[in-house]
Structure 1
């Protein structure tokens, strides 16, 4: 069986372990694959929440990594508004940049951005009804 459709998003980083720890802590992900890449000379890790065949690929490279900034971001759904609030508070205590939380109503929901160690935005949200919107389109 081969994976078809969306399989991954890749980000570059200066420090793979620091980035992987961030996505473990704030994105609920864990590493399922890690290797040295002889083509780039960097390290690579695949991170997943194990809910679907989709991974975040983190590639450690020398130099300045690109950034998901402004409104560009990765999004993770959370189990409650309280979880979003708790993660934002934790991030603030750690000195991370946090925007929000905000409630944008249906179908966007309650969300906040937390900046990762390389300046990328991770959106934590509750109530983003992507599954509901998708199901309504396929009926």
Structure 2
């Protein structure tokens, strides 16, 4: 079997409410559940893997209502690139309405681009961006 899952493959968070976290990452990061196991009230911890389906990378969310894990932030963050500035601005309008926009967008120019910070249900930081040039920078190494 050819294993294409090499290199950075996932990031994992303990979350207090799995369903709320899944809804957040579906709405603001365009992710969908690709694997789920465990049920509330069972001996198995509820876990979900989410992906934006663009590469072999998953966000792993494990429900633990008593979690004392360190939050990702205020600067540490999960970054998600948007397809256009208009698409990002639409997500930011939703984030404002939902009360989860932590920092209004900033245009930092190339290679950083246009970016803003949101708070997920557990206080982890999600960065939405447009115009970051990671592929360009990697291609010139």
TM-score greater than 0.5 by the shorter chain? yes
Unaligned runs of 5+ in 1: none
Q: Give me the whole-angstrom Cα distance separating, in 1, the residues matched to 2:6 and 2:126.
A: 25
Q: Give me the whole-angstrom Cα distance separating, in 2, the residues matched to 1:110 and 1:125.
A: 5
Q: Is the 8 A contact 1:84 1:112 kept in 2?
A: no
In structure 2, the residue matched to 1:34 is 36
Q: Over aligned residue pairs, what C-alpha RMSD do you find?
A: 1.5
Unaligned runs of 5+ in 2: none
- Deviations along 1:74-98, one digit per CA (max 9) or x if unpaired, are 0000011122211111111112243
TM-score under structure 2 length normalisation:
0.90
TM-score under structure 1 length normalisation:
0.91
Q: Give me the whole-angstrom Cα distance separating, in 2, the residues matched to 1:112 and 1:51.
A: 21
Q: Give the stretch that moved more between structures: 60-69 or 15-24.
A: 60-69
Residue 53, structure 1, aligned to residue 56, structure 2: yes
4+ residue segments displaced more than 4 Å? none
Q: Give me the whole-angstrom Cα distance separating, in 1, the residues matched to 2:92 and 2:65.
A: 30
